[in-house]
Amino acid sequence: MGVPYEIAMDKVICTENLTKFYGKKRGVLDLNLEVEQGEIFGFLGPNGAGKTTTIRTLLDFIRPTRGSATIFGLDIRQQSRDIRKRTGYVLDELALYDKMTSAEFLHYFGHLRGGVKWELVQELAERLKSDLSEPVRSLSRGNRQKIGLIQAFMHRPELLILDEPSIGLDPLMQQELYHLLTEFRDEGRTVFLSSHNLPEVQRVCDRVGIIREGRLIDVEHVAALKERALRHVEVRFAGPVPEGIFAALPGVSDLRIENNTLHCTVMGALDPFIKAVAGFQVVDLISHEPSLEDIFLTYYGQGEEHAE
pLDDT in tens, 152-163: 999 999 999 999
Indicate whether 168 pLDDT > 80.
yes
239, exposed or middle or buried, with CB in 10 Å at 0-12, 13-18, 19+? Answer: exposed
Query: What is the predicted pLDDT for the residue at 303?
Result: 44
Q: pLDDT > 70: what percent of the chain?
A: 89
- Provide mean pLDDT across the span 126-147: 94
Indicate whether 3 pLDDT > 70.
no
Q: Which domain holds residue 71?
A: 11-225
Statement to judge: residues 49 and 154 lie in one domain:
yes
- Provide mean pLDDT across the span 267-275: 85
Is residue 295 very low, low, confident or very high in pLDDT (cuts 50, 70, 90)?
Answer: low
Question: CATH no. for residue 247?
Answer: 3.30.70.100
Q: Which of 121-145 are b and which e, b meaning 16 or more Cβ less than 10 Å from the residue's Cβ?
A: bbebbebbebebeeebeebeebbbb
Instruction: Determine contact, residues 282/236, Cβ cutoff 8 Å.
Output: yes
Statement to judge: residues 197 and 71 lie in one domain:
yes
31, exposed or middle or buried, with CB in 10 Å at 0-12, 13-18, 19+? Answer: buried
Query: What is the predicted pLDDT for the residue at 301?
Result: 60
Statement to judge: residues 42 and 174 lie in one domain:
yes
Separation between Cα atoms, residue 141 and residue 101, nearest integer Å? 15
Statement to judge: residues 276 and 147 lie in one domain:
no
Instruction: Determine contact, residues 122/50, Cβ cutoff 8 Å.
Output: no
Query: What is the predicted pLDDT for the residue at 227?
Result: 67
Q: 3 lies in a domain?
A: no
Last residue of a domain, one of 205, 225, 245: 225
Question: CATH no. for residue 60?
Answer: 3.40.50.300
Instruction: Say whether pTM exceeds 0.85.
Output: no
Last residue of a domain, one of 200, 225, 250: 225
Q: 6 lies in a domain?
A: no
Statement to judge: residues 71 and 214 lie in one domain:
yes
Statement to judge: residues 196 and 245 lie in one domain:
no
Q: Work out how many domains the chain is built from and give that number.
A: 2
